[in-house]
Structure 1
Amino acid sequence: MLDANLKTQLKAYLEKVSRPIEIVASIDDSAKSQELIALLNDIASLSERVSVIERRDDAERKPSFSIGEPGKAAGIRFAGIPMGHEFTSLVLALLQTGGHPIKLDDAVIQQIRELDGDYAFETYFSLSCQNCPEVVQALNIMALINPRIRHTAIDGAVFQNEVESRQIMAVPTMFLNGEVFGQGRSGVKEILAKLDTNAGARAAKELEKKPVFDVLIVGGGPAGAAAAIYSARKGIKTGVVAERFGGQVLDTLAIENFVSVQETEGPKFATALEQHVKSYEVDVMDVQRAEALIPGRINEVRLASGAALKAKTIVLATGARWREINVPGEREYRNHGVAYCPHCDGPLFKGKRVAVIGGGNSGVEAAIDLAGIVSQVTLIEFGATLRADEVLQRKLRSLANVTVITQAQTTEITGDGKKVSGLTYTDRASGESKHVELEGVFVQIGLVPNTEWLKGTVELSKHGEIVVDAKGATSVPGVFAAGDVTTVPFKQIVIAVGEGAKASLAAFDHLIRTSVDDVEDAQAAELVEA
């Protein structure tokens, strides 16, 4: 099951295990069960501390397996075969069950221990989903810390009957005690905030105690991370407040154009950004959403939690999000057939008919990826021709199960009240309205800047982007901006990083000049008094 290279790496990791690990496999005679047993036996052969027990007569999903200590109730279970992106989740579950330290702040660990209640979580994932591992790993950690928490991670492709019956059309999807708890990427802090209703108020009180920052960066994507690093290296008081560290990069599968990094994945890149930032004296305040900017000699950023942070200068780096088509049915059927991440949610549409809206690089790449999973892909493009690179268009044209429709304006996404059933569009050449029957719609029409909270405060372009000059300065003195949220053309990670560094240096320059002005004003006042 595991190749020699992977076995060598895993064996080295398992040497860190300090206490016995018991894996209990629930299996039947299926091919998937045999595949699972082969994987578990491979793992057990690499460490004398790991044992495997087989069970056929229990009531657990088959194939599945629990990970725990001998003689203790196991809080972690994987249903399916956690390879692909979830192999890391499996390795971490083994190491942490075996005594390897959990990398969480003591306060967060204590908060998990003090949760009152019994929590049975289920997470549906796909092996190609880059957002799923964070959720799986977060809930596994919580199950290890608090014995009243149990977590089962379920491969939706293996348990397709459950996906159908529970109408799961997006991953990761979390259930708590049988009810939908959440969808999309979430970490320990986000999950805790939903479970511990008093956590937000406590966090707000702590944030109110923060001193005035020299530079406060709003946003934790590539631009925000670069701004934080460059500020911290100047030795000034630096803070970062972000709803989720990593930003849009977390939803990016492959990164192959960041100079000096030949190939990586979005979540890995985001983790590296956060680790780099935290290697400096930067106050990182995550799971916090900014709601208002109050400019002044000392600027104030008000948060959704009710807290307010103060800073002499601000760098706005709130990035962008997937653009919506804004037609009837889109929001009603989001996560019920309408999706924005083909890499994450594509496997849930195996053998089905889907549409991709958008003929740029993102749309064509999505159609190519989905063509290998679904039965039929219909690509809908508003313009007369596709806008993707020619190399991508050639690949698209070579696929037999892809239909391209140009000059088509999507007017409605239809459904049966529970899930998507089709898409209606207008043929812009003839004016005729047409309908396509399908089960899924993937929207790939670009990004929209996260600036709604800034309207009326800083100058915005007609597209909602923050207008900046060559130094990243906005229309408000002492407030700078960087990255995809600005008018700087070409939304690329490498450009966002450079713009973040530039905005930070401009903020530092502003601080120096402002402090000089303050001294001169004070001296002038003394002369007048004299």
Structure 2
Amino acid sequence: MLQDAIKTQLKGYLAMLAHPIVLEASLDDSPASREMHELLHDVAALSDKVEVSEHGEATRRPSFVIRRADARSGVTFAAIPMGHEFTSFVLAMLQVAGHAPKFSDDVIAQIRALPGTYNFETYVSLSCQNCPDVVQALNAMSVINPHIHNTTIDGALFQDEVTARNIMSVPQVYLNGEPFETGRADIEQILAKLDADAPRRAAEKLKDIAPFDVLIIGSGPAGASAAIYAARKGLRTGIVAERFGGQVMDTAGIENFISIPETDGPKLSAALEAHVRTYDVDVISAQRAKELFPAAQPGGLHGVALESGAILHARTVILATGAHWRHLGVPGEEEYRNKGVAYCPHCDGPFYKGKRVAVAGGGNSGVEAAIDLAGIVAHVTLLQRGSHLKADKVLQDKLHTLPNVTVLTEALTTRIEGNGRNVTGLTYRGGDGADHHIDLEGVFVQIGLLPNTDWLKGTVKLNDFGEIIVNDHGATSIPGIFAAGDATTTPYKQIVIAIGDGAKAALSAFDYLIRVPVPDEKRVAA
């Protein structure tokens, strides 16, 4: 089942197993069970520290538990963990065998101190690029704390459960039988939901942190680039990282990042974070900025208040907050979100196999979504409110070769309909001014981005679209505050442009710092 190249690489990882492990399978006569049997035996053949047992007694079949040879419980997969989840499988084997998760000492102590018992069920799709982050975080937690258990469930294998729980988007996490989390979440976000006192402790730790020369808000491509350039100048640099990679984490295929013919969002985000951490950058994780307090005079300290209650100070600030998916804003959208209304075709597309869906949006994202979905669903209707598609020609050419795609231009979505449980249709206003109805079971919204700048209103100047107005040096309307990336008026929201923007903002901040004298004030009134 495993290709020779993967076997060679996996054999190297398995050589690092600190203790013997057992892959304890619960199988039946299904084709999926036979596939799981083959995978597990392929893995066991690569190391004398891996044993397969087929005497599991789990009710979900096929499934398997990764456990230490001297233990009875471990990490459970009700899935054949290939695709994006293969890394989760490998990490789980290493961690169960004694390889320590790469968490800080504080995070590990926090996990160990959680009271009570936590039984997580994590529904995934093997094509979902966001699911592994959640799976790996919960698996690692279960290794650290014996009162935590996680079962990763491939929705494609357990359709009855997916239907019964009305799951139409992933990752979808249940805790002790109740809905817990939808969408991507990292270890800090999960712990914040489990540990009510975590925000207060986080704010307390940040209370006495020294002022930065450069404080970067946002850790997408622009923020990461700014952090690297600032640190290389020898500046005391901090970066507030709610989630490293930002919107890039939700991007599947990336084929226009110069010098790298093909990659994906999670890989690029991991590379950005790794690069930042090679420098002396203070990464302040799982925090969100809520208010900006400009310095009283040029060269003084700006303040940034975080939602946790902490306030950080810096001589310069770089705003790299990025953007988020724009919503249609029509009746039915919020009501049926995750019940037929989706925003990630790569994550949620498999739940619409054989169904009729619509894609709202005729730009690159919308056309790419329609192309991807056409290989899964019965039919795709692409709705573009303008008179023509805006996607790159290469994408349009591909789209028009697909027999199960209909393109409607001058089609403005006005309502999403449903039966109270799921989406059943969509209404759009055509170029003739009349309303038209389409029967379908899913709507994928791909109509562009909105800048994450609501918290900045009343401070730096914004344009009518909410973008931060910057000059050609990345400077905002406030001396000492710069901005970069998709949150700004810089045209063309592209990864490569955001990275250049971040570098420019950091260089401009450095130039500002060496030219502006430091006043007597040590703190801003915030």
TM-score range, shorter chain: over 0.9
Q: Point out where structure 1 has 5 or more consecutive residues left out of the alignment.
A: 522-530
Equivalent in the alignment of 1:220: 219
Q: Which residue of 1 aligns with 2:267?
A: 268
* Contact kept in structure 2, 1:315 and 1:481, CA below 8 Å: yes
Letter in 1 for 2:446: Q
Q: Following TM superposition, by how much is the alpha carbon of 1:100 offset from its aligned partner in structure 2, in angstroms?
A: 2.0
Q: Matched residues in 1 for 2:396 and 2:294: separation?
A: 48
Residue 463 of structure 1 is matched in structure 2 by 465
For the pair 1:15 / 2:15, whether they are aligned, the reply is yes
Question: 2:524 corresponds to which residue?
Answer: none
Shift in Å at residue 518 of structure 1?
A: 4.9
Q: 1:450 aligns with which of 423, 432, 452?
A: 452
Instruction: Quote the Cα distance in structure 1 between the aligned partners of 2:62 and 2:345.
Output: 26
SS in 2 for 1:469: coil
Q: Which residue of 343, 348, 351 maps to 1:348?
A: 351
In 2, the alpha carbon distance for the partners of 1:372 and 1:84 equals 17
SS of 1:508's equivalent?
Answer: helix
> Which is worse superposed, 131-140 or 419-428?
419-428
Match of 2:75 in 1: 76
- Distance in 2 of aligned mates of 1:198 and 1:248: 28
In structure 2, how many angstroms separate the alpha carbons of the residues matched to 1:148 and 1:518?
A: 54
1:54 aligns with 2:54: yes
1:299 and 1:389 map into 2 onto residues whose CA distance is: 42
Residue 417 of structure 1: which of 412, 417, 420 is its match?
A: 420
Q: Deviations over 1:293-338 (max 9, x none)?
A: 0101311111111111111110000001111111111111111111
The whole-number CA distance in structure 2 between the counterparts of 1:382 and 1:115 is 50
> TM-score by structure 2 length?
0.96
Distance 1:392 1:436, change over 3 A: same
Matched residues, percent identical? 62
Corresponding residue for residue 89 of structure 2:
90
Contact 1:75 1:149 in 2 (8 A): no
The Cα of 1:184 is off from its aligned counterpart by: 0.9
Superposition map of 1:213-362 within 5 A: 213-296=212-295, 297-362=300-365
Q: Is the 8 A contact 1:220 1:317 kept in 2?
A: yes
Whether contact under 8 Å (2:170, 2:183) holds in the other structure is: yes
Q: Which of 386, 390, 393 is 2:393 aligned to? A: 390
Equivalent-residue separation in structure 1 for 2:384 and 2:51 (angstroms): 55
Please list, as runs of the form range in 1=range in 2, the aligned pairs for 1:131-280 lying within 5 A after superposition: 131-280=130-279
Aligned equivalents of 1:245, 1:128: Cα separation in 2: 21
Q: CA deviation at 1:487?
A: 0.5
Mapped to 2, the partners of 1:255 and 1:69 lie a distance apart of 39
Rounded Cα–Cα distance in structure 1 between residues aligned with 2:256 and 2:398? 20
Q: Structure 1 counterpart of 2:419, which letter? A: D
Q: Does 120-129 or 413-422 show the bigger shift?
A: 413-422
Deviations 1:354-387 (A, max 9, x none): 1000111211111110011111111111112222
SS across alignment from 1:512: helix
SS at match of 1:484: helix
Secondary structure of 2:485's match? coil
Q: C-alpha displacement at 1:394, in angstroms?
A: 2.3
In the alignment, does 2:496 pair up with 1:494? yes
Gap regions ≥5 residues in structure 2: 522-526
- After superposition, what is the alpha-carbon deviation per residue over 1:15-50, rounded to whole angstroms, capped at 9, x for unaligned? 111211011101000010000000000000000010
Q: What is the CA distance between 1:176 and its match in structure 2? A: 0.3
Question: Which whole-Å deviations, capped at 9, do the CAs of 1:158-206 have from their partners, x for residues lacking one?
Answer: 1111111101111101100001100111111111111011011000111
Q: Find the counterpart in structure 1 of residue 41 from structure 2.
A: 41
Find the residue that maps to 1:367 and give its secondary structure: helix
Distance in 2 of aligned mates of 1:169 and 1:152: 18
Contact 2:82 2:126 (C-alpha < 8 Å) held by counterparts: yes
- Listed one character per residue, the Cα deviations across residues 265-308 of structure 1 (whole Å, up to 9, x for unaligned) are 11111111111111111111111111110101311111111111
Question: Counterpart amino acid of 2:340?
Answer: G
Whether the 8 Å CA contact 2:84–2:129 is kept in 1: the answer is yes
Q: CA deviation at 1:259?
A: 1.8
- Aligned residue for 2:516, secondary structure, equals helix
What pairs with 1:474-485 in structure 2 (closer than 5 Å)? Answer: 474-485=476-487
Cα pair 2:74 2:96 within 8 Å, conserved: no
Match of 2:436 among 412, 416, 434: 434
Shift of 1:418: 2.0
- Match of residue 116 from structure 1: 115
In structure 1, what is the Cα distance between the partners aligned to 2:8 and 2:330?
A: 52
Q: Distance in 2 between matches of 1:242 and 1:134?
A: 16
The amino acid of 2:256's aligned partner reads: N
Q: Match for 1:367: what amino acid?
A: A
Matched AA of 1:434: H
Contact 2:68 2:74 in 1 (8 A): no
8 Å Cα contact 2:18-2:99 kept in structure 1: yes
Question: Does the alignment pair 1:31 with 2:31?
Answer: yes
Please tell me the residue identity of whatever aligns with 2:19.
R
SS in 1 for 2:143: helix
How far 1:402 moved relative to its partner? 1.1
2:451 maps to a residue whose letter is P
Measured against aligned partners, the alpha-carbon deviations of 1:385-411 in whole angstroms (never above 9, x if no partner) come to 222222222222221211111111110
**What residue number does 1:513 align with?**
515
SS at match of 2:9: helix
Task: Provide the TM-score with structure 1 as the length reference.
Answer: 0.96
SS at match of 1:260: coil
User: What RMSD in Å do the two structures reach over aligned CA positions?
Assistant: 1.3
Pair 1:203–1:518, CA change in 2 (3 A): closer
Matched residue SS, 2:149: strand
Tell me, in whole angstroms, the C-alpha distance in 1 between the residues paired with 2:304 and 2:190.
24
Q: Secondary structure at the match of 1:55?
A: coil
SS in 2 for 1:394: helix
Partner of 2:398: helix, strand, or coil? helix
Q: Which letter maps to 2:369?
A: A
1:120-163, Cα deviation, whole Å (9 max, x unpaired): 00111111110000000000000000000000001111111111
d(CA) in 2 for partners of 1:368, 1:120: 38
Letter in 2 for 1:303: L
Q: Matched residues in 2 for 1:156 and 1:88: separation?
A: 18
Give the partner amino acid of 2:109: Q
Counterpart residue type for residue 53 of structure 1 = S
SS at structure 2 position matched to 1:116: coil
Cα distance in 2, alignment partners of residues 107 and 393 from structure 1: 50
Structure 1 segments (4+ residues) deviating >6 Å: none
Aligned residue pairs: how many?
517
